[in-house]
C-alpha cells in the first residue's frame, strides 16, 4: 500500500461465519447488524438526492419502522459524539467510541468474557469501567479496566493499543486506532485523575457514606438542594449560599430557561401545566432542539427557548444527571 511517501504492508483478514458471529450477536445483545441502533443513526446525513435529514426520521418516512409511535421525539434521543468534537466532554467521546466498537460484546449477556458494560445509556458508575475488576488482571493485582491517572494499569487502553494476541477489537483489525488510543489516554490522564464518585464525595464532605447527613436525599444546609444534586452540580452541601439554580430570561418577544452548564453533566428542561400544581407527576420533556442530550466539555450558560405565551401557564424544572 502506498501511503504518501512510504510503502507499507497491509494485511486484510476476511472473517469466516463463525468469527463473524462472535460479535454479530443478538438480537438482544449486538443486534446482528452492528451499528444499526438509535445512537448511531441519530444524526443528519446527506442523501444522494441532495437532501440532508436525520437518518431516523428518513427511515420512518420510508416506512421501515412498524411500532407506534415509530420514533419518539428526536430531541429526546441520545446520539454518539464524534471523537474529534471538542465541544463534547472527553468522557462522552470515549463512551461513544466504546458504544460503537465494543458494546455489542461488552454488555450483560454479551459474548465478551469481561465485566464492564460499554453501552452508552448506562451512567458511568453503573458500568464497571472506572476501577472495574478484570477477569484476567494480567499478573498484576493493581490492573483494572480503567484506573484514574494510570495508563500502565488501565487494561482497556492496553488492549486497544496492541495488535496480535489479546487485541481489541479481536477480529478483522490489523491497525491500531491511534486516535482512539490518544483519546482514551487523555481521559485517563486528565479527566479521570480528578474523578470523584458519589461515595468519594460523601467521604470528602461528611467522612462517611452512611451518616444521615451524607445520604443522597439529605439536605444538611437547608437550601432545598439534596446531596444528590449538590454532588452533580459541584456545590457545597454544607453551605446554603453555595447553590445551583435555574432562571427565566425575557428578551423582547422571546423567553428562555437558563441554567449554569457544567462539564460532562446532562441537563433536561421539563415542564408541566399550572393545573398540576401540588402534584409530583405530569412533568414532560421540553421538545426543542436546544434541549437535546448534550454533555459539554466546558462551563457556560445554556438558554433553552420557551414560548412566552406558554411560559405564564407552565412550571419548569431542570433535571441534572450523570451520563
State the average pLDDT over residues 283-288: 94
Model pLDDT for residues 164-217, shown as the tens digit of each residue: 888 898 887 888 999 999 999 999 999 999 999 999 999 999 999 999 999 999
Would you tell me the crossing angle of helices 90-101 and 178-186 to the nearest 10 degrees?
140
In order, the DSSP letters of 119-170 are -TTS-GGGTT-BT---S--TT-TT-BSBBTTBSTTBHHHHHHT--STT-SS-
In contact, 90 and 84? CB cutoff 8 Å: no
Rounded distance, CA 110 to CA 104, Å? 7
Query: pLDDT digit string (tens) for 10-35?
Result: 778 888 888 888 888 777 777 788 88
Contact criterion met (CB below 8 Å) for 220 and 205: no
Who's near 8: CB < 8 A, 6+ residues apart?
1
Distance from C-alpha of 314 to C-alpha of 318, rounded to nearest angstrom: 13
Q: What is the pLDDT of residues 24-77, one digit of tens each?
A: 877 777 778 888 889 999 999 999 999 999 999 999 888 888 765 566 889 999
What pLDDT score does 2 carry? 66
pTM over 0.85: yes
Query: How high does pLDDT run on average in the chain?
Result: 91
pLDDT score of 68: 58
Amino acid at each position: 500500500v502506498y501511503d504518501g511517501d512510504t510503502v507499507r504492508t497491509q494485511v486484510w483478514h476476511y472473517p469466516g461465519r463463525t468469527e463473524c458471529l462472535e460479535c454479530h450477536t443478538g438480537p438482544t445483545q449486538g443486534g446482528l447488524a452492528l451499528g444499526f441502533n438509535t445512537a448511531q443513526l441519530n444524526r443528519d446525513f446527506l442523501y444522494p438526492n441532495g437532501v440532508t435529514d436525520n437518518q431516523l426520521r428518513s427511515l420512518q418516512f420510508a416506512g421501515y419502522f412498524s411500532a407506534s409511535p415509530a420514533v419518539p421525539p428526536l430531541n429526546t434521543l441520545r446520539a454518539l459524539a464524534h471523537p474529534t468534537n471538542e465541544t463534547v466532554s472527553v468522557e462522552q467521546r470515549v463512551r461513544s467510541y466504546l458504544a460503537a466498537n465494543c458494546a455489542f460484546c461488552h454488555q450483560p449477556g454479551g459474548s465478551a468474557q469481561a465485566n464492564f458494560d460499554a453501552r452508552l445509556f448506562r451512567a458511568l458508575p453503573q458500568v464497571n469501567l472506572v476501577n472495574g475488576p478484570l477477569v484476567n488482571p494480567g499478573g498484576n493485582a493493581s490492573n483494572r479496566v480503567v484506573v484514574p491517572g494510570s495508563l500502565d494499569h488501565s487494561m482497556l487502553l492496553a488492549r486497544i493499543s496492541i495488535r496480535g494476541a489479546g487485541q481489541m477489537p479481536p477480529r478483522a483489525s490489523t491497525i491500531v486506532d491511534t486516535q482512539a488510543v490518544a483519546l482514551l489516554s487523555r481521559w485517563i490522564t486528565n479527566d479521570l485523575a480528578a474523578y470523584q464518585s458519589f461515595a468519594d464525595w460523601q467521604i470528602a464532605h461528611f467522612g462517611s457514606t452512611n451518616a444521615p447527613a451524607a445520604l443522597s436525599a439529605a439536605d444538611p444546609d437547608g437550601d432545598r438542594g439534596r446531596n444528590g444534586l449538590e454532588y452533580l452540580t459541584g456545590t457545597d452541601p454544607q453551605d446554603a449560599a453555595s447553590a445551583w439554580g435555574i432562571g427565566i430570561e425575557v428578551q423582547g418577544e422571546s423567553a428562555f430557561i437558563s441554567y449554569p452548564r457544567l462539564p460532562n453533566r446532562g441537563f433536561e428542561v421539563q415542564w408541566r401545566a399550572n393545573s398540576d400544581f401540588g402534584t409530583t407527576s405530569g412533568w414532560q420533556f421540553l421538545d426543542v432542539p436546544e434541549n437535546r442530550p448534550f454533555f459539554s466539555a466546558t462551563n457556560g450558560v445554556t438558554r433553552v427557548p420557551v414560548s412566552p405565551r406558554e411560559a405564564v401557564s407552565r412550571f419548569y424544572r431542570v433535571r441534572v444527571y450523570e451520563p
